[in-house]
Amino acid sequence: MASSPPAIEQTFDVDKLSYEIFSILESKFLFGYDDTKLFLPGSLPSTPTRSSNQSPSFRVRILSIDGGGRFSDALLAASALARLETTLRERSGDSMARISDFFDCAAGSGAGGVLASMLFARGPTGKSLFSAGEAFAILSKEINRNKGLFHGIFNWSSKSKKFRKMFNELTLKDAVKPLLVPCYDLATGAPFLFSRADAMENSSFNFKLSDVCEATCEESVEVRSVDARRKILAVGGGIAMGNPTAAAITHVLNNKKEFPLAGGVEDLLVVSLGSGEAEHGREKLAVPPSQADIVRIASEGVADVVDQAVAMAFGHSRSTNYIRIQASGSAMDRTDNHRRAVLGLTEKMLSQKNVESVLFRGKKISDKTNAEKLDYFAHELMKEHDRRRTNSGTDDSGDVTFFPVPAIKEVKVVVPRQSIESMQSVPSFKDVMVPIVPAKTHSALVGRVISSIL
C-alpha cells in the first residue's frame, strides 16, 4: 500500500501554489498590467493585435459620467462637456452639433445620470433635447446660495416637478442613443440598470426619464415602468455604481444587436468624467467624519478602483482609447454658490493638472491639465467621426450611419430578469474583468476583482 506524502511536503506545495497565485496577482493587478518586468517567467499575457493589412477599425464611443451629491460634481462634467462640444463644433464645421452626435452610448450615475439624460433625450427636432452648453447653463443658473447639487438646482420638494417639466412624457425608448442609468433597488438588494436596450426589448423595462432621474439621485423613491408592471424601490445611483464606466463597457461589448463590431477594448473610445473630489490632505482629524462623509469616501474609493481596473484592461491602448477627467480637492466646498463664482471655479478645475488614481497608492498628478486631455480626446473623436463619413457615408439628415439601427422586437419575458448582483460572473472585456457590484464596502469590491482575475 503506497504511503501518503508527508504532511510537510503537502504544506510546502500549498505554500508554493499560494505564492505563485499572489505573485501573478501582484504582477498583473497591483503593479500595473503593462509593466512587463514584473511578470513571472512564462506568465506574460498575449494581447491580440490586428494585422497591418487589415482594414481600419471603427471604434464605439462611450461617455460615462460619475455620480455625486454636490453641485460641483455635475457642474464639472457639464463644464467639461460644454468645452468638448465647442471644440467639436469648431473642428467639424457644424455649429449645431451636439455631444450626442459624437458618442454612441452614454452612462451616468446620480447627478451624472441626470446630465446624461439631458444630453441624450430626444427633442422635438429629432436631435438631443439639450446641448452641453444649454445643460451647463441650466445647472449653473439655478443654484441657490450655500446648497448642494440637487438641494440647490432642484430642491427636494420640487425636484420631481422639475424633472417632469424638463422631460415631459419622454421615456428610455426616446433616447437618441443607448442610455444607461443605475440605481440601487432595495427590493432586490442589488443595483438596477435603466437601459434603453432593455426598454426596446420589453415594455416592463421602459421608464419615464423623469422617473429615471429621480431614481438615480433621490435618497429613496418608488418608481414604476410605463406599463406599471415593474416597481423599483430606488436609492441613488451614486451608492450602487458611482462610476458606471465598467457597466457601459460591458453593455457595449455584450450588446451585439446595437454594436455588432465591438469585439474588445481596442474597438472602444471611452471618456470617463469623474466628480469633483472632496478636500483632502488633512494632517489630523479634528472632527470625526459624518455618515455622509463616510459614504462619499467609500463611493470615491470604489470609483477609483473601477478607474484603475478599466485603465489596466485597456493596457497599452489606454492613452488613446481611454481618458479620465478627474478634479482634485475642489474649492467649491467652501465657496458661495453665486453663478459668477461657480463659472470661475469650473474653469479653474479644467485648468488643474489631471489626476490619475493608482490602486492602493493614492493619486498621481499628470503632466497634462484636464482641458488639455479633453482637447486631445476631441481630436480622437473627430478622427473617428471623419473615418465613418469617409467609409460609410451619411443619411439624409447628415448623421453618420455606420452602426446599423437594429430592428428589435419586443418579447415577452416569463422568467424574471436577473439582477446584476445575482449573476455569478460578468463577461470579461479583456484579461482583467471589472465586476459590477453594489458599493457596500471597498474591500468587497476588491475581493470580487481579485477573484475575477484568478
Q: Which of 19-28, 78-87, 157-166 has the lowest mean pLDDT?
A: 19-28
Give the CATH architecture of domain 60-392: 3-Layer(aba) Sandwich (3.40)
pLDDT at residue 362, rounded to an integer? 61
Q: Which of 27-31, 129-133, 357-361, 380-384 has the lowest mean pLDDT?
A: 27-31
Tens of pLDDT, residue by residue over 249-266, are 999 999 999 999 888 888
Which residue's entry shows cell 482609447? Answer: 321
Q: How far apart are CA 350 and CA 369, in angstroms?
A: 7
Helix (H, G, I), strand (E, B) or coil at 338: coil
pLDDT band at 157 (very low <50, low <70, confident <90, very high): low
pLDDT at residue 135, rounded to an integer? 92
pLDDT band at 16 (very low <50, low <70, confident <90, very high): low
Contacts 24+ apart (CB under 8 A), 398-407: 398/94, 399/101, 402/58, 403/58, 403/60, 403/104, 403/258, 403/259, 403/260, 403/261, 404/260, 406/257, 406/258
Q: How far apart are CA 159 and CA 162, in angstroms?
A: 5
Q: Say which residue, 357 or 91, is predicted with more confidence.
A: 91
pLDDT at residue 19, rounded to an integer? 54
Grid cell for residue 132? 452641453
Please name which of 92, 67, 11 lies closest in space to residue 276, comparing C-alpha atoms.
Answer: 67
In single-letter form, the type of residue at position 450 comes to I
Using a cut of 0.85, tell me whether the model's pTM lies above it.
no
Cα-trace Rg, the chain: 23
- The 3-class SS string of 128-152 reads ECCCHHHHHHHHHHCCCCCCCHHHH
- Are 339 and 367 a contacting pair, CB within 8 Å? no
Q: Where are the domains of the chain?
A: 60-392
Helix (H, G, I), strand (E, B) or coil at 38: helix
Tens of pLDDT, residue by residue over 96-119, are 999 999 999 999 998 899 999 999
Taking residues 143-158, report their average pLDDT: 49
Report the helix count and the strand count for the chain, using DSSP H and E.
15, 10
Please name which of 206, 235, 181, 189 lies closest in space to residue 66, comparing C-alpha atoms.
Answer: 181
The catalytic site residues sit at: 109
Give the sign of the dihedral formed by CA 432, CA 433, CA 434, CA 435. Answer: negative
Tens of pLDDT, residue by residue over 236-251, are 877 778 899 999 999 9
Measured at the CA of 439, the angle between CA 374 and CA 183, to 5 degrees, comes to 75
Query: Which letter, b or e, does each residue of 13-46 get, where b requires 16 or more Cβ atoms within 10 Å of its Cβ?
Result: eeeeeeeeeeeeeebbbebbbbeeebbeeeeeee
Q: How far apart are CA 79 and CA 304, in angstroms?
A: 21
DSSP 8-state code for residue 264:
S
Q: How far apart are CA 11 and CA 7, in angstroms?
A: 6
In single-letter form, the type of residue at position 351 comes to S
